Structure 1
Amino acid sequence: MKNALRVNTRSAFFFASILITGVFTSAIVLGGNCNSADLQRGRGETITVKYNYDGDTLALNDGRKIRLIGVNTPERGRKGQPDEALAMEAKQAVKNALQADSSRQKGVRLYLGREQSDSYGRQLGHVFVDGQSLAATLLSQGLGWHVEIPPNVGLASCFANLEKKAKRQQKGVWRKSLAQYVATKNIKQGGYQRVRGTVRKVSFAKAWWINFDDGFVAVIYPENQPYFKQSTVSSWRGKRLEIEGWVYPSKYRGKKQWRIKLATPHGMSVL
């Protein structure tokens, strides 16, 4: 599935969300549970889902497309390419939760995010079935990865905890046979990945730059800096980090450089 993020004008890249395990202290607090009451604010509506493209994208009877907030599920194959592992399982889990026959659907509610649409024309939202978040269902079964993109972070803490539990239990994408990471020095292509590397340098300008030993760079732009504590970011020098997110190509002094944007602390850990 396509990610629900806009392309930054500085370069064509995908946004990533990051988790610093046990070190996140910030003036901005991400939501603490998966209760739809936290999202109501008069924005909820009852919907009927016609079908789901995959685990994280739905088509409604009224013609709208919905991209679930907080989760990224394995890709369905396109143009002759095979599905990624567990792509069909994620799609089926959502189908089962919704019930295949749309005429039998009851209690399906949509809560749009503070940012309500993406560059693909899809609406961004949380979908609840009888009070249960579809994203939470997927994350608890290990059928997707937790991603959070500000300002749609209302249930981030709950989703992060569900992912950590699935990871500990080696469910779904976290099974040892599937949960692979790429060393930053071995990155050959963009897209959603788990990467590991050692931080060589941290510098603070308008953007905050985290440079790894092999040229890989993580960037915290000004709009996302309130989610991080500068002293914590500074402490990453010399440490090994694991990051989940979308890797994108950029250029530095005429040379290709792989980067990832740090949007929130969810999705990353200090090893």
Structure 2
Amino acid sequence: MCPPLATRSLPASVPRAAWPSRWTSSATATARRSKTVVVAFLPFGRAQQKGTVGLPGALFRVRRPLLAVLATMLLVAGGCVAEESPQRPPGGMDGTGDCAPPSGLAVESATVSYVNDGDTVRLSNGDRVRLVGIDTPEIGRDGAADEPYAREAQQALRALLAESENRVRVIDATEGEDRYGRRLSYLYLPDGRSIQAQLLDRGMAMAVFVAPNLELADCLLTRERAARDDDLGIWSLSAYDPGLPSANGIPEQVQGAAIVRGRVESVGESRRNIWINLEGRVAVRVDKADLERFPGWDFEALEGETLRARGWIVHHSNRYQDWFIPVDSAHALERLN
């Protein structure tokens, strides 16, 4: 038996028999009926176990002359199942409307041993994992107060994990580690539901966009909009919707990611960056190297308009601004005019 390809082995893994069909890819079974061979392929495949009923899949018939080709395919598979996410368009939804696993990235089984907050967990092997693509309110540290909905987000994540006895599927993003040594990953429950999407559905998180980890950007933003429209969780707070007014500056207690809105007073340019200067000495910084991720955007035309931006606040005072938000994807900007 050859090992799964592009995977890691963790101590507490989900048995193959419990995997949803979407996680694997292999041909399943052949059966002879007179002069016709019936071949069943499960959705995205998995080896059918003796004594079990195969999942519904694409069932088709082939004539005997093709039997040799099919036999070769099965031999190449050799009983090995590549534990790799199925090939789907990046950021797309699957047939259930959930955020499909990103294509071409390795998948592994794991068990969560501790929930730090709404977007960070520790695995049983000691790895710390930051849920990529979302940000939840911060739990207060060193005597600081919790941000609104911080504990609710933590509890929502715990409740989701409890549904599977803390078992998850882990898919590391394209850039798989942050500056703190945490893995940047998408988490899925064994039944295939995206944990990031589930938190967004409940209004416990906002979507954030940091290249190159934009695999699910479109889908996560869609899930967030539904919660925002219903004023769920954090979206009942003005700091999130419509966002912090830049005219008042950024409150000192704001740390990490935020949503800021304001009128564009000017648009400037330096050797490396484009600077969108909002009222209140708040700027949005776009690296020129990232301009391909802003198709159709004419930044100079933004002057006088109201812009909403999201990202991590950087406190940096100079002659032009006191705060700026670096953005590297058009997903992080919204014209409100």
Per the normalisation by structure 2, the TM-score is 0.65
CA contact (8 A) 1:194 1:244 kept: yes
1:81 aligns with 2:149: no
Moved more, 233-242 or 146-155: 233-242
- Of 108, 117, 138, the residue aligned with 2:177 is 117
What residue number does 2:325 align with?
A: 260
- Of 303, 311, 316, the residue aligned with 1:245 is 311
- Secondary structure of 1:109's counterpart equals strand
For residues 38-88 of structure 1, give each alpha carbon's deviation from its aligned partner in whole angstroms, at most 9, with x where no partner exists: 33x251100111011011001000000000011100111111222211111
What amino acid is aligned across from residue 239 of structure 1 in structure 2?
A: E
Moved more, 53-62 or 176-185: 176-185
What amino acid is aligned across from residue 53 of structure 1 in structure 2?
A: N
What residue number does 1:195 align with?
A: 260
- Secondary structure of 1:125's counterpart equals strand
CA–CA separation in structure 1 for the residues paired with 2:248 and 2:99 = 40
CA–CA separation in structure 1 for the residues paired with 2:335 and 2:288 = 22
CA–CA separation in structure 2 for the residues paired with 1:166 and 1:90 = 14
CA contact (8 A) 1:74 1:90 kept: yes
What residue number does 2:213 align with?
A: 152
Map residues 231-242 of structure 1 onto 2, 5 A cutoff. Answer: 231-242=297-308
What residue number does 1:127 align with?
A: 187
- Of 128, 138, 163, the residue aligned with 2:199 is 138
What residue number does 1:60 align with?
A: 123
- Of 246, 265, 271, the residue aligned with 1:184 is 246
What is the CA-CA distance between 1:243 and the residue it aligns to? Answer: 2.0
What is the CA-CA distance between 1:97 and the residue it aligns to? Answer: 1.2
What is the CA-CA distance between 1:256 and the residue it aligns to? Answer: 5.7
1:38 aligns with 2:102: yes
What residue number does 1:13 align with?
A: none
CA–CA separation in structure 2 for the residues paired with 1:143 and 1:67 = 15
CA–CA separation in structure 2 for the residues paired with 1:125 and 1:164 = 22
CA change 1:242–1:42 in 2 (3 A) is: closer
CA–CA separation in structure 1 for the residues paired with 2:170 and 2:240 = 31
Moved more, 239-248 or 152-161: 239-248
For residues 121-151 of structure 1, give each alpha carbon's deviation from its aligned partner in whole angstroms, at most 9, with x where no partner exists: 1000000002111110111111011101110
Identity %, equivalent residues: 32
Higher relative contact order structure (alpha carbons within 8 Å, sequence separation ≥ 6): 1
Unaligned runs of 5+ in 1: 1-28
CA change 1:252–1:177 in 2 (3 A) is: closer
CA contact (8 A) 1:184 1:195 kept: yes
CA contact (8 A) 1:36 1:128 kept: no
CA–CA separation in structure 1 for the residues paired with 2:101 and 2:121 = 22
Unaligned runs of 5+ in 2: 1-88
CA contact (8 A) 1:249 1:256 kept: no
What amino acid is aligned across from residue 216 of structure 1 in structure 2?
A: V
CA contact (8 A) 2:209 2:331 kept: yes
CA–CA separation in structure 2 for the residues paired with 1:177 and 1:211 = 22
CA–CA separation in structure 1 for the residues paired with 2:142 and 2:301 = 44
CA contact (8 A) 1:35 1:131 kept: no
What residue number does 1:15 align with?
A: none
What amino acid is aligned across from residue 135 of structure 1 in structure 2?
A: Q
For residues 231-271 of structure 1, give each alpha carbon's deviation from its aligned partner in whole angstroms, at most 9, with x where no partner exists: 43232121011222222122434x76211111212233212
What amino acid is aligned across from residue 151 of structure 1 in structure 2?
A: P
Moved more, 132-141 or 192-201: 192-201
- Secondary structure of 2:331's counterpart equals coil
What residue number does 1:224 align with?
A: 290
- Secondary structure of 1:223's counterpart equals helix
What amino acid is aligned across from residue 171 of structure 2 in structure 1?
A: Y
CA contact (8 A) 2:246 2:260 kept: yes
- Of 36, 47, 51, the residue aligned with 2:110 is 47
For residues 203-234 of structure 1, give each alpha carbon's deviation from its aligned partner in whole angstroms, at most 9, with x where no partner exists: 34531111223332111013322111364323
Which one has the largest radius of gyration?
2
CA contact (8 A) 1:127 1:133 kept: yes
CA change 1:82–1:213 in 2 (3 A) is: closer
What residue number does 1:8 align with?
A: none
Per the normalisation by structure 1, the TM-score is 0.80
